[in-house]
Amino acid sequence: MSREHDTGADTPRVLSRRNFLIFGGGAIAAVAAGGGAMAATAAPGARGKMPPGLVDRPNVRQLALSVTDGWAGMPRELPVIDPYFPDTLAPAPLDTYIFGFRDVTGLDRPIVQSQAGKAQISAPVIEATVGEEVWITLSNLGLLTRPDLVDSHTLHWHGFRNAIPYYDGVPETSISVPIGRDFTYVFRPEDAGTYMYHCHFEDVEHVTMGMTGIVFVRPAANSAWAYDDPDTEFDVEMPIMLTEFDLAGHWNDAHIQTSDWTSYKPDVWLMNGRAYPDTLAPSGVRDDITGDLVPQVGFEHLQYQPQTSKIRATGGQRVLLRIANLGFQEQTLAMPGIDLVSVGSDARWLTPDQRTVSDTLVIGAGESRDVIFVAPQWRPDGNNTYPLFNTDPTKYRGNLDGSDQWVGGQRTELEVEA
């Protein structure tokens, strides 16, 4: 096994094995490295085209995100929920109305505009390094299915320390971005860790519709550490965003109905915008010519849910899980037989005295956890998968004939490779 330590923020970031895991399996990563999928992780100066109107600057990571509506696909095995699921307005093979972010870094304006109605869930993973300046230009492309809704949008970096309202993305206490307009948020992260971002406009609706993603910050000292501490070193990493969908709420938004959010009752529980078994499917990529997302063959319903949750490692590798919860419920995840060492909580390094070692972890709404585990050795008998799953049996929908109770829930797996 090889440990790859990136050399620093100023060098264009080559996709390492760690990066592969963020965005998918090896096959996808090969495409990503060539085609620029998930350009939101572009290192400063690594890409040719900056967000509109901005100039290239050293040590500034410039990203462009657009916000719009779109359609996602829940697992093919999921039972019908009449009349809410599948939504009859959805273009096949998609079935669920969403709001979401898209990474449009490096795309020309007309191409960006052509992505209206093509939101993704979970939002693009944003990566930054302590000491960098991060500029995120948010473009509001409007809602194609709901032109009557003239909502603005924002970007709230949840957990950013000593934020000022101007860059905090709360519409009531500062500004939000109307349809057809851009705004550039500026952050100078000083603290490593796993954070999250989401829209704060009509927050309950926009968040549960899918405007949620992970942003994490690497320490300046070593990009293969989770925090400024050598015992947070890792070989592979996997961000996992936990959310839930109340499918009636999504249907209501598509069909011009109002939801009473205090009646919120989730139907599916998601990891990185997908429910099991789709969590295991490979990541999708962005086509830089059309600007659109491209699904893997056989997973066309996941075109706008490009992020896998499948974890791959070789025996003995240290795996960092960056888990964030932007659902509305507290969740308990378990990985039986694997010692999960909590090294960070809410983007704060935990002292050895504060750490817990357990095969379960509890994470409240709005919280983040960084846990490291050591992958078990590869076994020649072929038993090399280890599930990571929500322990609450009521938080799964189950498939049609009841043969797979895990369908529709937060479940993924580690596969130990030879």
Minimum gap (Å) between residue 57 Cβ and other proteins:
9
Which partner from the list Cu ion, other proteins, none does 199 bind, CB cut-off 5 to 8 Å by kind?
Answer: Cu ion
SS3 249: helix
* Helix (H) or strand (E) run with residue 34 in it: helix 26-35
SS3 241: strand
Minimum gap (Å) between residue 263 Cβ and other proteins:
7
The residue from 17, 158, 322, 411 that contacts Cu ion (CB under 5 A) is 158
CA–CA separation, 291 vs 293, rounded Å? 7
DSSP track, 290-329: T--EEPPTT-GGGTT------EEEETT-EEEEEEEE-SSS
360 bridge partner residues:
334
Amino acid found at 284: G
| Cα 29-277-407 angle, rounded to 5 deg | 160
CA–CA separation, 318 vs 334, rounded Å? 18
Taking the least distance from each CB to Cu ion, the nearer of 209 and 388 is 209
Taking the least distance from each CB to other proteins, the nearer of 174 and 314 is 174
CA–CA separation, 111 vs 124, rounded Å? 18
Stretch that binds Cu ion, among 205-213, 316-324, 340-348, 373-381 (CB under 5 A): 205-213
Stretch that binds Cu ion, among 194-202, 232-240, 256-264, 303-311 (CB under 5 A): 194-202
Minimum gap (Å) between residue 137 Cβ and other proteins:
8
Taking the least distance from each CB to Cu ion, the nearer of 197 and 227 is 197
Which partner from the list Cu ion, other proteins, none does 227 bind, CB cut-off 5 to 8 Å by kind?
Answer: none
CA–CA separation, 66 vs 116, rounded Å? 8
The residue from 206, 218, 274, 397 that contacts Cu ion (CB under 5 A) is 206
Taking the least distance from each CB to Cu ion, the nearer of 112 and 196 is 196
Which partner from the list Cu ion, other proteins, none does 364 bind, CB cut-off 5 to 8 Å by kind?
Answer: other proteins
Counting other chains too, the contacts that 404-407 makes at CB distance below 8 Å and 24 or more residues apart are 404/77, 404/277, 406/276, 406/277, 407/75, 407/77, 407/78, 407/275, 407/276, 407/277
Minimum gap (Å) between residue 346 Cβ and other proteins:
5
Minimum gap (Å) between residue 106 Cβ and Cu ion:
23
CA–CA separation, 326 vs 335, rounded Å? 21
Taking the least distance from each CB to other proteins, the nearer of 323 and 414 is 323
Minimum gap (Å) between residue 343 Cβ and Cu ion:
22
Number of residues that bind Cu ion (CB under 5 A): 6
The encoded tokens of residue 355 equal 């750490």
Taking the least distance from each CB to other proteins, the nearer of 3 and 188 is 188
Taking the least distance from each CB to other proteins, the nearer of 20 and 195 is 195
Taking the least distance from each CB to other proteins, the nearer of 3 and 109 is 109
Minimum gap (Å) between residue 32 Cβ and Cu ion:
27
CA–CA separation, 383 vs 369, rounded Å? 28
Instruction: Let me know how long the chain is.
Output: 418
Minimum gap (Å) between residue 218 Cβ and other proteins:
18
Residues within the interface to other proteins (CB under 8 A):
54, 60, 133, 135, 148-152, 156, 158-159, 161-168, 170-178, 181-184, 186, 188, 190, 195, 201-205, 207-208, 256, 258-264, 328-330, 345-348, 350, 353-354, 364-368
CA–CA separation, 387 vs 37, rounded Å? 27
When asked if residue 102 is in the footprint of Cu ion (CB under 5 A), the reply is no
Minimum gap (Å) between residue 99 Cβ and Cu ion:
6
CA–CA separation, 194 vs 226, rounded Å? 9
Taking the least distance from each CB to other proteins, the nearer of 184 and 390 is 184
- Rg for the chain (alpha carbons), in Å? 20
Which partner from the list other proteins, Cu ion, none does 170 bind, CB cut-off 5 to 8 Å by kind?
Answer: other proteins
> What are the φ and ψ backbone dihedral angles of 194, each rounded to 5 degrees?
-105, 120
CB 290 within 8 A of CB 417: no
- Per DSSP, 186 falls in state E
Query: Contact positions toward Cu ion, by CB under 5 A?
Result: 153, 158, 199, 201, 206, 211
